[in-house]
Amino acid sequence: MMNCLQSWPEPVVRVQSLSESGIRAIPDRYIKPPSDRPGFENQEHVDIPVVDLKNLFSHDHTLHEETLKLISSACKEWGFFQAVNHGISHELMKRTREVWREFFNLPLEVKQEYANAPTTYEGYGSRLGVQKGAILDWSDYFFLHYLPVHLRNPSKWPSLPSSCRDLISEYGAEVVKLCGRLLKAMSISLGLKEDYLQNAFGAEDIGACLRVNFYPKCPQPDLTLGLSSHSDPGGMTLLLPDHDIAGLQVRKNGKWITVKPVPNAFIVNVGDQIQVMSNAIYKSVEHRVIVNSVKDRVSLAFFYNPKSDLLIEPAKELVSEDRPALYSPMTFDEYRLYIRTYGPCGKTQVEFSGSNR
């Protein structure tokens, strides 16, 4: 299916190399139109909800129900929340983030061994989308498949630092377990059987991948973005942000809210596929990443996705005469071809798929 995306339309430039070259003005290729520039006006003192997961599977029914209500409210109102007491070792989170920071600080020729192509995006990359002449984002990344197992290829994962591959395996296993717990909570909160969403994703035969983002220092952060506005095309995303500097912005009521990371929290967000399955009860929300002139940033986005060839459609239980199905059935493979071709484009894709019935 991806045969039309064999190679990048122009030579790839590593943004980290640009940043480290000492330039004082960014190349035109990274300058966003004025309407898309971040603007650093005074931020409102609001933030995405924080949900304590320690009572998610508590034997205390009241505490359990309260947690489900908090998750449901966050998914309806924000499409985002920060999860604390999630059960994943803080030390594992820290070590995994730091090993990737070390990878991006390796010599360029070492990283180039993993240079990617748009056929699968797997490996070391610096752009999304294959449109010639597109305005680019101020970031590099490393993308890899974790599930299904037959797509997992540790030989394509960095061999340096030496602990990297083991940490990817350990971290991935823990995050997959957490995603399963959250999917169960979302199913129950929607009034569905607890295993509905997991089964709709493909039961045990789901997709999962990791995108590690590197946002280099930028001499003109007011003119560009680390990652353009988009909603995530997959099912659910667990983001491990950098611990001491904010970058993620979430769109709420037409305004951009800068997320202030809570220590040792994961930032959880609803993807387009859960918006479709929930018939838009739960919302995937536009977000973007700003950069700064002072410090490089690393973040890890773990995408928990439906099996790529399953048809995704609204749950029959959430469709009625009063609330008809808003989306036509489509496989995730068909769906994600859009972002792989055009790059991040706000909410264009899910809105188009809803109107194209």
pLDDT in tens, 264-317: 999 999 999 999 999 999 999 999 999 999 999 999 999 999 999 999 999 999
Q: Are 233 and 271 in contact (CB under 8 A)?
A: yes
Backbone angles phi, psi at 174, to 5 degrees: -70, -40
Quick: pLDDT tens for 33-44. 999 999 765 455
What was the pLDDT predicted at 6?
75
Q: Are 53 and 67 in contact (CB under 8 A)?
A: yes
Domain chopping of the chain, boundaries? 15-353
The residue with tokens 């690393």 is: 298
pTM for the full predicted model: 0.94
Quick: pLDDT tens for 167-185. 999 999 999 999 999 999 9
Quick: pLDDT tens for 322-333. 999 999 999 998
What was the pLDDT predicted at 333?
87
For residue 356, pLDDT beyond 50? no
The answer to whether domain 15-353 has CATH 2.60.40.2550 is no
Q: What burial class does residue 269 get, using C-beta atoms within 10 Å of its C-beta: 0-12 exposed, 13-18 middle, 19+ buried?
A: buried
Backbone angles phi, psi at 83, to 5 degrees: -100, 125
pLDDT band at 357 (very low <50, low <70, confident <90, very high): very low
The residue with tokens 């999962």 is: 208
Quick: pLDDT tens for 218-244. 999 999 999 999 999 999 999 999 988
Q: Are 296 and 214 in contact (CB under 8 A)?
A: yes
